[in-house]
């Protein structure tokens, strides 16, 4: 079994059954249009049908490419959780995935692992993914065990070099047919998804969540409340939680009719990041800090200036006088106004 740890030109010319890593699990896969290999995978696993086979695509836009209709209510859910460990069942009305559809429906996901997404993009074809195991057995999570026990299954492998063991955490599976339906709950809680369906969260981020990001949060909340819009606005930082807002930030907000005295800082964690639809950071370094730890947040993380169409980071006024805090507030306000207009057009 030839192992590929990076994308090479000849990868797109390979066919047959391959091993891959989704970001949480090792998987058996092939092109979704390779009827022979799909049949082979069923036989290897001892399966009678395609139940449990997930179609992996490289990008949200591929849904339109393959005539998958996305209900308007689901668009923000997909923007928030893809790439990620959420599988969604869609009607395959155009029979685009006839070799793996079950009862006219197909399970689709954009995987977490960047190497796998790039491989799918390079081949130009969605792939199927199913766990490495005999039907009815637990999925294998150790790469060496897979090589020794199942190596004969695979023609090649597309696996990051640093991965020797997988978490073995399956995806949460949902379906939307007039209302949201849970098929299987796993790493992403259904209650969180239901909240995301009702209201989208915008997260502002700075270093300690006591100066800049609270000013952005409370000002943007004011815009949302005054206009009766359906956004949940929060803020967070990289340092420890439970700190009060800085006195000068509190005073500047109060000068503008905003009471933020009850603010308590929050530290960024996985739940905060993946529970947010849009993440806006004060600086480029904040953005890179998030993406270094949570690379799958790439498509929804921007600097405040970047998303507003302006330039320059929002500098930290911590330890400076009230005059500097007022300047910082005006910079934040200017960008928040532009972003608000952008989101409500």
Sorted by where each starts, the structural domains of the chain and their CATH numbers stand as: 2-189 (3.90.870.10), 199-344 (3.40.50.2300)
Q: How far is CA 325 from the centre of its chain?
A: 34
**Tokens standing for residue 305:** 């200036």
292 is catalytic: no
- C-alpha span between 37 and 57 (Å, rounded): 18
30 is catalytic: no
How much is the pLDDT for 102? 94
How much is the pLDDT for 123? 95
Asked if 237 and 277 count as a contact pair (C-beta separation under 8 A), the reply is no
CA distances from 26 to 48, 86, 116, 284 (A): 21, 16, 11, 33
Q: How far is CA 340 from the centre of its chain?
A: 23
CB atoms within 10 A of CB 69: 12
Least confident of 29-33, 106-110, 177-181, 244-248: 177-181
Please, which contacts does 318-326 make with residues 24 or more away whose CB atoms are closer than 8 Å?
318/207, 318/208, 318/210, 318/211, 318/246, 320/248, 321/248, 322/248, 322/251, 322/252, 325/211, 325/248, 325/249, 325/251, 325/252, 326/252, 326/255
212 is catalytic: yes
Whether residue 211 is predicted with pLDDT greater than 90 in this model: the reply is yes
Active-site option among 206, 211, 250, 336: 206
**Tokens standing for residue 169:** 């955490």
Active-site option among 109, 117, 212, 250: 212
0.95 surpassed by pTM: no
Active-site option among 59, 155, 232, 316: 316
């Amino acid at each position: 079994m030839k192992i590929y740890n990076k994308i090479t030109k000849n990868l797109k010319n390979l066919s047959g059954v391959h091993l891959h890593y989704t970001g949480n699990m090792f998987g058996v896969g092939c092109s979704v249009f390779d009827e022979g290999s799909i049949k082979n995978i069923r036989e290897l696993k001892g399966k009678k049908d395609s139940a449990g086979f997930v179609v992996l695509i490289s990008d949200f836009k591929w849904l339109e490419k393959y005539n998958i209709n996305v209900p308007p209510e689901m668009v923000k859910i997909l923007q928030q959780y893809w790439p990620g460990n959420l599988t969604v069942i869609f009607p395959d009305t155009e029979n685009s995935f006839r070799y793996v559809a079950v009862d006219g429906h197909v399970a689709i996901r954009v995987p977490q692992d960047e190497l796998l997404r790039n491989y799918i993009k390079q081949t130009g074809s969605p792939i199927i993914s199913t766990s490495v195991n005999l039907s009815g057995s637990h999925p294998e999570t150790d790469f060496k065990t897979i090589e020794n026990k199942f190596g004969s299954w695979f023609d090649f492998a597309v696996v990051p070099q640093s991965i020797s063991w997988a978490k073995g955490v399956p995806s949460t599976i949902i379906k939307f047919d007039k209302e949201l339906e849970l098929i299987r709950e796993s790493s992403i809680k259904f209650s969180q998804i239901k909240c995301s369906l009702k209201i989208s969260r915008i997260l502002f981020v700075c270093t300690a969540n006591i100066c800049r990001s609270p000013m952005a949060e409370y000002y943007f909340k004011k815009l949302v409340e005054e206009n009766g819009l359906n956004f949940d606005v929060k803020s967070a930082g990289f340092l420890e939680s439970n700190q009060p807002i800085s006195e000068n930030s509190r005073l500047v907000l109060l000068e503008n009719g905003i009471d933020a005295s009850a603010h308590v800082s929050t530290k960024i964690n996985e739940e905060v990041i993946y529970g947010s639809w849009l993440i806006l950071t004060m600086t480029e370094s904040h953005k890179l800090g998030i993406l270094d730890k949570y690379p799958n947040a790439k498509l929804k993380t921007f600097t405040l200036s970047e998303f507003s169409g302006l330039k320059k980071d929002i500098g930290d006024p911590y330890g400076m006088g009230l005059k500097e805090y007022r300047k910082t507030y005006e910079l934040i306000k200017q960008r928040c106004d532009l972003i608000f207009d952008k989101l409500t057009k």
